[in-house]
Amino acid sequence: MSLLIKNGEVVTASERYEADILCENGKIVRIERGIEAPDAEVVDAAGKYVFPGFIDPHVHIYLPFMGTYAIDTYETASQAALVGGTTTLIEMCCPARGDDPLESFHLWKSKAEGVSACDFTFHMGVSRYDEETAAQLRQIVAEGISSFKVFLAYKGAFGVSDEELFHVMKLAKELGVIVTAHCENPDLVLEMQKKLVAEGKLEPKWHYWSRPPEVEAEGTGRLMTFAELLGTHVYVVHLSCKESLDRAVAAKRRGVNAYVETLIQFLTLDMTYAELPDFEGAKYVMSPPLRHKSNQEVLWNGLKTGLVSTCATDHAPFNFKDQKPMGKDDFTKIPNGIPSLEDRVNLLWTHGVMEDRIDIHTFVDCASTQAARIFGLFPRKGTIQVGADADLVVYDPGYEGNISVKTHKMAVDYSAFEGWPIKGRPHVVTVRGEVAARDGEFVGTLGRGQFLKRVPSHF
């Protein structure tokens, strides 16, 4: 079956032109004006943009964490992703310290295979280092993974020591694997938590004060030091503040191959949300925490200038009714995470492009192309060209609506953006040439998503 997208304005990270796009056998086969294909299914894209499918390079779907599990499955998450214009997910595979890495990788993969409606791959979490782990990591890379994930935070659960970090990064350099990292100083977090709890400061708003910007900046600086010494390519996940960006940029200037990811939450929400009364603030507890509003301009400008490469979600959904309350009397026990998988693209469009903070090419670049380039998916994903996968988003800039838990496809029972207006949304979303979402509804095929094998390139 072929698919013809007619009369749209094609926009990539670097180009903008009017053309039709013909897709056959899951690939883009022709891009030119006036294509006729009588047997093809036709999507009328007049008055609309045609973007490459968006890539979310940091999501959690299967996540055992803080005594509970993130609430989405690939069934709900891939539908939410597609309705929101995201056609590729890169999930964090997060084994706990005692878990077997290879078994964990296969477990995470089994949660997606045969279920996901969109394509997917993983960053392989490394939560300890020894000879057996190293051998298994080599095997996991041979099976198609080209990025690792380390947590400098969450001591005792996912976190690695400096000694372990050294060896993971040394191995990554040898294998050409990029290391993605959650950068916060674990001991500072623990000591600050203890101090706050001892002072009776237990509400959600105190979460911020256990992880102030200095804690993240220290973690980022430390990762940069290791990268500088070992030559490993690194990617700072969910960077939230100026202090941390300054450390990454200073390292880039010294020649470190460092990439920075920020989140749609950090671009649009600030710490006052976590200060909301009556435990409402728990909806906004994540790590690193939401920051002072002044950081938003720094992050938007980071995207605009390329100092920040990607805008992800770190989608980590925990219900407000029965999961967030695990920390009702103690903020350190609130499951960390803010769901945003479905809303990233529309929020980035509305608050970025529509409010003139970033241009349309930067929008495509940071929400799709950069992730494809950094994580070894380009040009199969992340752009519109002949031979690429036909993952396309026909985007309606004229749509106006509101975000709500009442309509979202994510399994979680609240929206961090309840009632927020959006301007623009995907009209049609395709996965390898098949229409998978239309005007806010999923019309695709569960189980059609493929595991994307990747090859290391960060030598």
By a kind-dependent CB cut-off of 5 to 8 A, residue 286 interacts, out of Zn ion, ligand URP, none, with ligand URP
Q: Which of residues 229-248 bind ligand URP (CB under 6 A)?
A: 238
By a kind-dependent CB cut-off of 5 to 8 A, residue 336 interacts, out of ligand URP, Zn ion, none, with ligand URP
Nearer to ligand URP, 124 or 316 (CB): 316
> β-strand 16-24 against 27-32: which pairing, if any?
antiparallel
Q: Which of residues 50-79 bind ligand URP (CB under 6 A)?
A: 60
Report, in Å, the least distance between residue 136 CB and ligand URP.
22
Nearer to Zn ion, 86 or 430 (CB): 86
**Of residues 193, 240, 336, 346, which one binds ligand URP by CB under 6 A?**
336
Report, in Å, the least distance between residue 397 CB and ligand URP.
31
Q: Would you count residue 337 as binding ligand URP (CB under 6 A)?
A: yes
Q: Would you count residue 286 as binding ligand URP (CB under 6 A)?
A: yes
Q: Would you count residue 344 as binding ligand URP (CB under 6 A)?
A: no
Q: Would you count residue 182 as binding Zn ion (CB under 5 A)?
A: yes
Nearer to ligand URP, 203 or 314 (CB): 314
Nearer to ligand URP, 287 or 362 (CB): 287
| SS3 of the chain | CEEEEEEEEEECCCCEEEEEEEEECCEEEEEECCCCCCCCEEEECCCCEEEECEEEEEECCCCEECCEECCCCHHHHHHHHHHCCEEEEEEEECCCCCCCHHHHHHHHHHHHCCCCCCEEEEEEECCCCCHHHHHHHHHHHHCCCCEEEEECCCCCCCECCHHHHHHHHHHHHHHCCEEEEECCCHHHHHHHHHHHHHCCCCCCCHHHHHCCHHHHHHHHHHHHHHHHHHCCCEEECCCCCHHHHHHHHHHHHCCCCEEEEEEHHHHHCCHHHHHCCCCHHHHHCCCCCCCCCHHHHHHHHHHHHCCCCEEECCECCCCCCCCHHHHCCCHHHCCCCCCCCCCHHHHHHHHHHCCCCCCHHHHHHHHHHHHHHHCCCCCCCCCCCCCCECCEEEEEEEEEEECCCCCCCCCCCCCCCCCCEEEEEEEEEEECCEEEEECCEECCCCCCCCECCCCCCCC
**Of residues 185, 287, 309, 313, which one binds ligand URP by CB under 6 A?**
287
In our burial notation (b when 16+ CB lie closer than 10 A, e otherwise), range 321-350 reads eebbbbbeeebbebbbbbbbbbbbbbbbbb
Report, in Å, the least distance between residue 316 CB and ligand URP.
4
Site size with Zn ion, rule: CB under 5 A: 2
State which residue has the least CB distance to ligand URP.
Answer: 336
Contacting range for Zn ion; rule: CB under 5 A; set: 68-76, 109-117, 181-189, 322-330: 181-189
Q: Would you count residue 314 as binding ligand URP (CB under 6 A)?
A: yes
Site size with ligand URP, rule: CB under 6 A: 9
Contacting range for Zn ion; rule: CB under 5 A; set: 46-54, 119-127, 182-190, 324-332: 182-190
Q: Would you count residue 369 as binding ligand URP (CB under 6 A)?
A: no
By a kind-dependent CB cut-off of 5 to 8 A, residue 220 interacts, out of Zn ion, ligand URP, none, with none
**Identity of the amino acid at 241:** C
**Of residues 81, 134, 249, 316, which one binds ligand URP by CB under 6 A?**
316
Residues 435 and 429: beta-carbon distance below 8 Å: yes
By a kind-dependent CB cut-off of 5 to 8 A, residue 137 interacts, out of Zn ion, ligand URP, none, with none
Report, in Å, the least distance between residue 417 CB and ligand URP.
17
By a kind-dependent CB cut-off of 5 to 8 A, residue 149 interacts, out of Zn ion, ligand URP, none, with none
Q: Would you count residue 344 as binding Zn ion (CB under 5 A)?
A: no
Q: Would you count residue 182 as binding ligand URP (CB under 6 A)?
A: yes
Binding mask 303-322 for Zn ion (x = CB under 5 A): -----------x--------
Nearer to ligand URP, 258 or 316 (CB): 316
Alpha-carbon separation of residue 273 from 42, 165, 181, 192, 314 (angstroms): 44, 34, 25, 21, 18
By a kind-dependent CB cut-off of 5 to 8 A, residue 111 interacts, out of Zn ion, ligand URP, none, with none
> β-strand 27-32 against 434-438: which pairing, if any?
unpaired
Report, in Å, the least distance between residue 208 CB and Zn ion.
16
- Tokens standing for residue 285: 């507890």
**Identity of the amino acid at 304:** K
ω before 379 within 30° of 0 (cis)?
yes
Report, in Å, the least distance between residue 240 CB and ligand URP.
10
Nearer to Zn ion, 72 or 314 (CB): 314
Contacts with Zn ion, residue ranges (CB under 5 A):
182, 314
Contacts with ligand URP, residue ranges (CB under 6 A):
60, 182, 238, 286-287, 314, 316, 336-337
